[in-house]
Amino acid sequence: MELYLDSAEINEIKSSFEQLPFMTGLTTTPTFMARHGITDIDGTIVELSKIVPVLQIEALGDTADEIVAEAKRQEALGLDRDKTVYKIPVSMEGLKACSMLVKEGFKVNIHLVYTIQQAYMAMQAGATYVCPLVGRLQDQGHDALGLVEQCVEAVNYYGYNTKIMFSSVRTIQHIRDAVELGVHTITVPWKIMKQLTDNHFTKIGTDQFVNDTRLMTERVGDVISENNPTVTPDTTVSDCLVAMTTYKTGAVTVIDGEKAPIGIFTDGDLRRLVTEKGGDVSGIKVGDLGLTAPISIDAHELLFAAHNLIKEKKVDELVVTLDGKAVGMLDVQDMVK
């Protein structure tokens, strides 16, 4: 199924084709151009033709001769006949123009199709594309998907050399509908296009792969924060709280004179201390709280080892050491990107 972008916003078109270079081409309309304040239609058409693989543009006129003349005038701007499709609203004169242009090797999209009768006449006229407007039909309460299905069946049954284009796409469900109906091509606004690869479970799985790869390839010392708040046993609870607030951490490492870790004080310890002792605990020294040796890990170890140690010891933080000295703290959240 061919995939077209439906837009007239130059920057959006450029960036989207850089992001998705496999798109078939671009469809646009005078209404889109007017909406974006474009006044130089010819200049815009020429610019777009240099950006996209295939460009579908409007060829308007009151008679078949006028429509044909307009298509040829636009081609004379420098457009490649093999890479340009001329869009013509369905009508008796439009179908006559379609037949005339196709016989000369032009590609034509008969659009604004709302009935199977219109679609049939366009196929019979040799249209390269027939374009029912699904969203607009549904807005009016019609069975747009039923029409698209009939169009696809007619092409397949009678062997017309016509592609059914699913247009006026409003939701992601429309893309699914198009695929299920077996249409030959679809044109999609960028705001819908960029949602097509999103899925909550895909994100969960991708994040899991990324995090598991980190566990096996990155070392503890490479992921710890540059902030390394440490205190001594003589530091008061108040000063510990200041350090945690300053460095925006939930814990500080208590070190001895050799900078070796001898304990850890966390915001959880503070809450427990207030609950147990009540009143003002700010002046208590952390060395008087019965420090125990913290669970630590060497900075050279892989995150995988840290992950296992956190699970085994059922803790949220590990003190990171290098040559026996505290150099940082690894929080369980540091292992998740």
Please report, for the domain that includes residue 117, its CATH number: 3.20.20.70
19 and 167 assigned to the same domain: yes
Q: Phi/psi of residue 153, each to 5°?
A: -65, -40
- Identify the pLDDT of residue 226: 81
71 and 139 assigned to the same domain: yes
Q: C-alpha 11: how far from its chain's center?
A: 17
CA torsion, ordered 254, 256, 262, 267, to nearest 10 deg:
-10
Which of 83, 87, 277, 313 is flagged as catalytic? Answer: 87
111 and 257 assigned to the same domain: no
54 and 118 assigned to the same domain: yes
Q: What is the full DSSP assignment across 250-262?
A: SEEEEE-TTS-EE
- Identify the pLDDT of residue 84: 98
Our count of domains for the chain comes to 2
The domain boundary, picked from 170, 193, 216, lies at 193
Domain CATH code at residue 321: 3.10.580.10
Q: C-alpha 329: how far from its chain's center?
A: 35
The domain boundary, picked from 125, 160, 193, lies at 193
188 and 70 assigned to the same domain: yes
76 and 189 assigned to the same domain: yes
Please tell me what DSSP assigns to residue 219: B
- Identify the pLDDT of residue 23: 98
pLDDT along the chain (337 residues), means of 10: 96 97 96 91 96 98 98 98 98 98 98 98 98 96 97 98 97 98 98 96 95 94 89 95 92 94 93 88 93 94 95 93 94 80
- Identify the pLDDT of residue 277: 87
Q: Which residues pair with 111 in a beta bridge?
A: 89, 131
Domain residues for the domain of 266 are: 202-335
- Identify the pLDDT of residue 337: 67
Q: Which residue has the tokens 């295939």?
A: 54
234 and 186 assigned to the same domain: no
Q: Which element (helix H / strand E) includes 161?
A: none
64 and 118 assigned to the same domain: yes
The domain boundary, picked from 166, 193, 220, lies at 193
Has 87 been annotated as catalytic?
Answer: yes
The Cα–Cα gap between 193 and 24 comes to 13
- Identify the pLDDT of residue 333: 84
